[in-house]
């Protein structure tokens, strides 16, 4: 990450994030701003590898701004940094394109480790956020007998309990449908990318699909999205 934009209205928190990013990456160019208006000016002048974004800013909502960032800089790696575990906004931020969600209350060493993990393909997620994300996925998960899933040979794919996918396969399917790649899915679930590949292969076989787009459609029909 050579260029980083930090959008945070609290001066102390902005300084800390800049220090964390500076230590996590090799001499990056960091711009820090307090408002979305200032962020827009910087985005017009420079391309950024990463944007670290607070959710609550004086002139707008951070989770909504993600869409605006990615519309002009689609390769930017967007990370949310917030003081609260705002579960109702977690999924929205990830759906809008955020790749990470960190809490400002995390120890500095933990934040540095999370940012360094990006270079290894691991999405930066606070442990509390990861737990809540998985809980929300499980809350949305339902067995095939209750879902309007339309796949070929559906009845032949059900086991004796009428359940098509395991809980882990459902988690992988949801993340896959949201656009995360194999290393990122592995980072979310704390499993290797090779294990992720095995789960994806099993999902494709069970759902009788052959692509990510078909799997995403199945996830919608399955009631997971």
Per-residue confidence (pLDDT) for residue 126, from 0 to 100: 73
Burial annotation 6-32 (CB, 10 A radius, 16+ → b, else e):
bbbbeeebbebbbebbeebbeebebbb
Residue range 45-83, pLDDT digits in tens: 999 999 999 988 999 888 889 999 999 999 999 998 887
Judged against a pLDDT cut of 60, whether residue 158 lies above it is answered with no
Q: Which domains does the chain have, with CATH numbers?
A: 3-127 (3.40.50.2300), 141-221 (1.10.10.10)
Q: Please say whether the beta carbons of 166 and 189 come within 8 A.
A: no
Residue showing tokens 């992720």: 196
Give the contacts of 113 (CB within 8 A, at least 6 positions apart). Answer: none
pLDDT interval class at 209 (50, 70, 90): confident
pLDDT interval class at 136 (50, 70, 90): low
The C-alpha atoms of residue 81 and residue 79 are separated, in whole angstroms, by: 6
Q: With the CA atoms of 129, 188, 13 and 90 taken in that order, what torsion angle do they form, in degrees rounded to the nearest 10?
A: -50
What is the percentage of the chain residues whose pLDDT exceeds 70?
Answer: 80
Residue showing tokens 């929300």: 136
Of 159 and 130, more confident: 130
């Amino acid at each position: 990450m050579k260029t980083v934009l930090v959008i945070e209205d609290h001066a102390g928190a902005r300084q800390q994030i800049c220090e964390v990013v500076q230590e996590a990456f090799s001499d990056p160019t960091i711009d820090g701003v307090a408002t979305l208006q200032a962020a827009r000016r910087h985005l017009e002048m420079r391309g950024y590898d990463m944007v670290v974004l607070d959710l609550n800013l004086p002139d707008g909502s951070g989770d909504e701004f993600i869409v605006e960032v990615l519309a002009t800089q689609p390769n930017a790696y967007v990370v949310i940094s917030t003081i609260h575990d705002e579960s109702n906004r977690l999924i929205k931020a990830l759906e809008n394109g955020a790749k990470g969600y960190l809490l400002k209350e995390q120890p500095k060493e933990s934040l540095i480790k999370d940012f360094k993990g990006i270079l290894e393909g691991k999405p930066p997620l606070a442990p509390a956020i990861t737990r809540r994300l998985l809980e929300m996925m499980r809350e949305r998960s339902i067995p095939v007998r209750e879902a309007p899933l339309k796949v070929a040979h559906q009845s032949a794919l059900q086991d004796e309990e009428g359940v098509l996918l395991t809980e882990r396969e459902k988690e992988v399917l949801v993340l896959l449908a949201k656009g995360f790649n194999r290393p990122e899915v592995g980072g979310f679930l704390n499993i290797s990318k090779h294990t992720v590949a095995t789960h994806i292969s099993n999902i494709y076989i069970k759902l009788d699909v052959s692509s990510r787009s078909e799997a995403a459609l199945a996830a919608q029909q399955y009631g997971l999205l």
